[in-house]
Amino acid sequence: MGAWRGQAVAALLLGLLAGGGWSYLRLGGSLAGCQAALARTRAQVRTLGAENRRLEDALAALNRQRSRGQVIRRVQLRLLASPLTAAQVEAALAPYLEPLLGTSLQGVQPELVYRLLAGRILTVGNGVYRLEVAAVLLAPDTVLLVRVVPLSGGGGPG
């Protein structure tokens, strides 16, 4: 019985070794496959990241080029309230608005235009008026929404 027991133990150990070896080979192959897949995925991430950076740079260059090409072609005054005609207000503001024409939109801040005009005192005929700026819409055809408030004088077109 001792020999049979020894053979059984040997067969059991041999089975354990064979099963363990088989599992090791199977998992090792699976691990190698996972590592290869991980390496391929990392390479794709690097490639896609480089492509993404290239596209972002191209888009930024297009945006810079487009904004560099846009200039103020015309300034329109929209009178919200005024005792003066639009032509009178445009004539009074011409020295301030003409330098804006041809200026790159990229180099002009709406607040700069606002501060240039808001509170400006206009003298038209015998009347004195204050300009209130409600909005500045910068575009190739810039729009200024303004009110003209009489300070003294006739209070009407003069």
What are the pLDDT digits (tens) for 29-86? Answer: 677 777 888 889 888 889 888 888 888 888 877 776 665 668 899 999 999 999 999 9
pLDDT at 157 over 80: no
Residue 46, CA distances (Å) to 37, 58, 62, 83, 85 in order: 14, 18, 24, 66, 64
Domain count, the chain: 2
Place of tokens 């490639």: 47
Phi and psi torsions of 70, nearest 5°:
-95, 130
The answer to whether residues 65 and 79 belong to one domain is no
pLDDT of residue 10: 75
Average pLDDT on 131-142 reads 94
Residue 38: which domain range? 1-69
**Boundary-marking domain end, from 69, 85, 108:** 69
Average pLDDT, the chain: 84
